[in-house]
A and B are shown apart, each in its own frame.
Chain A
């Protein structure tokens, strides 16, 4: 009997090993690069490394979407219902989704049953500027990797949720945190950092996705040395921008901000990481005359070496908190019979830019919001032509030296577009930009850098501009800069977009609705109230022959924290924290 039992156990073990052997191939580099066209899974942030948020699925389309209904909803539970800005991932029947306070959940995509959850134990001293959100995981091999509010990268076993490795990216006590989804390129996990309001120095770092060993680090403020690890040894890899002091006065570059808080995208054609950088620190621009590189820029970075290939600065010498973090989305278009390798981005500053993604050259730029006051336009290189009267006054020029003159600037500091990613439809050739129309009063104050303390030197208050709406979803033609259609929303939009081959564009609203629009006309085709405000990004995938769509619901993010007069429009919105999954009924 014992012998029989023994051999049975061995057989069972071998079977188990071979089954898990197949599953353990997990997510490969190829899966990630081809994610956009492989509709059975979602293994990258943005449904493909370029971040187009476009799916070729068309079972749910303008004719059928009216019948779409929820099949399950999953609650994150706990008493931590804060902003839920996550984009879920799906692989082999499991959804991996993050929640507020650095939590990760694995959910059965067929039933909505929880498989495991991981709750990072965060120190009380974390300093996220704008709610305790997280924007999603990266998948690689059998690992689920995400960044925490105390600025660590954590790799979890996709099967169990147990920690496989953990690395400190930066010191949370200095004001660093991580909220963006990391991205994977050729086995490297790439992350940025948040903390631009605390005078940190932004950086991009690459780690071996399997082991967590650091590979390179690239500071995003001019003057700081980059490093690369060769055979385990840390080697100098060139100062960002060549040398210190070119575009910054004095020592200000040492606490220059330029936080890479929204992560980035990757273009396999040009082998470039596209990473955006945040505002220069402090907000008071009179303390730092100069362009303040590489703040408020898009950087093209070589994923192998961490070297900056080119940069495009949208707001040189920013004085309005116009971060340049927004996603740069690669796309091709035809012009005069030639294919243009382009990339587009819609900036906090109210302008949308189309760049040549091979070299960063400016092709064209145009406003995507109704009013811009801080600049009169863009010059031939895409540099803003400042309206100097709309730069907040220098406090040292004031009578008591404590407060500079206040100005009304548009867009407000939360931007014509904030973090919420836009989408690009390969069918219509249009970008769908979630934007907001708001203004601010802003003034400057003296300030000094102190480690771990807010480093702003500015006061501000945000105001709506229209009684009917703040949020506007706009269909923009990147070839002409023309608006094709718009949808106006009472509350500000704060969630991402999904475009599909079903001629649909989906977005969630703070009022709780998942809305679906005709991609060509903007006609509202679908809406469903998820019970709490949506500030996450939808995904879609195919399973068992049916098209599924999921979105995270849970009101929060920066709007309720920095709301000013805008708060009136959102204060009645209730918090939540759940994933909703939809499909068409079986005929």
Chain B
């Protein structure tokens, strides 16, 4: 037992030592790496593309795209976080081997921060993509706009979706928007209230894509998945299922 821990530490230490320094030199890298990757082996990988605007015009709705197609078929999960957000974790994505591991959504940012996408491969090595987002900030502690109007109360979980063919690749993109305040719990007197689970199932009841969301995902989430599929053949055969932390469940056929 003691020997086991010792060996683990030794192995972990040697990998960390061997790893590259954080290209963004974020003061939180060691902390967030510990939190999300632990002592597992990792390397920075520029092929994991984290696309962000240069500046967050609206800190409550920052578009973010993660493209890990280079590791397609070899992915166990993708964890995405923002180093300097008060709640760092944004989402974790579990793509089915048959989907294109490319995903977009919008999130809230509290201040300028490094944004990470850590991709765990079948071999147990994490590939980390990074990008820096400049922001004036405040996105996480601002009450949701839904809080000022009762619209969400009668439209909670209403979902609109679209599918369109991808231009460059063989496949389709599903994009959906769901009405939800996605309250972080950090604004005064508004408890956290956010969608935690998103699952896209095909007609064979397989989970094509599973997402675990955290509070920083933007209000009224807009999320798009890329699938290897033929639009004409598959329309209407997908089911989107979501559940929030209050236990509300939402379902929609796409």
Interface size on A, residues (CB 8 A): 22
Q: Is B63 among interface residues, defined by CB-CB distance under 8 A?
A: no
Question: Is A119 in contact with B192, judged by CB distance below 8 angstroms?
Answer: yes
Q: Is B67 among interface residues, defined by CB-CB distance under 8 A?
A: no
A467 cross-chain contacts in B, Cβ below 8 A: none
A277 to B: closest C-beta gap in Å: 29
Contact string against A for B residues 189-205, beta-carbon threshold 8 Å, 1 for contact and 0 otherwise: 11111000000000000
A381 to B: closest C-beta gap in Å: 47
A242 to B: closest C-beta gap in Å: 37
Q: Closest B residue to A4 by CB, please name it.
A: B4
Q: Is A336 among interface residues, defined by CB-CB distance under 8 A?
A: no
Q: Is B139 among interface residues, defined by CB-CB distance under 8 A?
A: no
Q: Is B245 among interface residues, defined by CB-CB distance under 8 A?
A: yes
Question: Is B188 in contact with A163, judged by CB distance below 8 angstroms?
Answer: no
Question: Is B189 in contact with A79, judged by CB distance below 8 angstroms?
Answer: yes
Question: Is A119 in contact with B185, judged by CB distance below 8 angstroms?
Answer: yes
Interface size on B, residues (CB 8 A): 20
Question: Is B153 in contact with A163, judged by CB distance below 8 angstroms?
Answer: no
Q: Given A5-B4, A78-B189, A119-B192, A125–B150 Cβ distance below 8 Å?
A: yes
Q: Closest B residue to A150 by CB, please name it.
A: B153
Q: Given A8-B4, A79-B188, A124–B247 Cβ distance below 8 Å?
A: no
B141 to A: closest C-beta gap in Å: 14
Q: Closest A residue to B249 by CB, please name it.
A: A166
**Bound CA–CA A433/B1 (angstroms):** 61
Within A66-110, the residues touching B (CB, 8 Å) are: 78-80, 101, 103
Question: Is A154 in contact with B246, judged by CB distance below 8 angstroms?
Answer: yes
B8 cross-chain contacts in A, Cβ below 8 A: 5
**Bound CA–CA A101/B192 (angstroms):** 13
Q: Closest A residue to B149 by CB, please name it.
A: A124
**Bound CA–CA A541/B145 (angstroms):** 46
Q: Closest A residue to B8 by CB, please name it.
A: A5
Question: Is B7 in contact with A124, judged by CB distance below 8 angstroms?
Answer: no
8 Å CB contact of B7 from A1, A79, A121, A173: A1
Q: Is A366 among interface residues, defined by CB-CB distance under 8 A?
A: no
B116 to A: closest C-beta gap in Å: 26
Q: Is B101 among interface residues, defined by CB-CB distance under 8 A?
A: no
Q: Is A561 among interface residues, defined by CB-CB distance under 8 A?
A: no
Question: Is B246 in contact with A166, judged by CB distance below 8 angstroms?
Answer: yes
Question: Is A123 in contact with B150, judged by CB distance below 8 angstroms?
Answer: yes
Q: Closest B residue to A212 by CB, please name it.
A: B247
8 Å CB contact of B248 from A1, A78, A124, A166: A166
Within B153-200, the residues touching A (CB, 8 Å) are: 153-154, 181, 183, 185, 188-193
9 contacts between A and B (CB under 8 A): A8-B4, A79-B189, A80-B189, A119-B185, A121-B183, A121-B190, A121-B191, A123-B150, A125-B150
List the 3 closest A-B pairs by CB distance, nearest first.
A119-B191, A163-B247, A121-B193
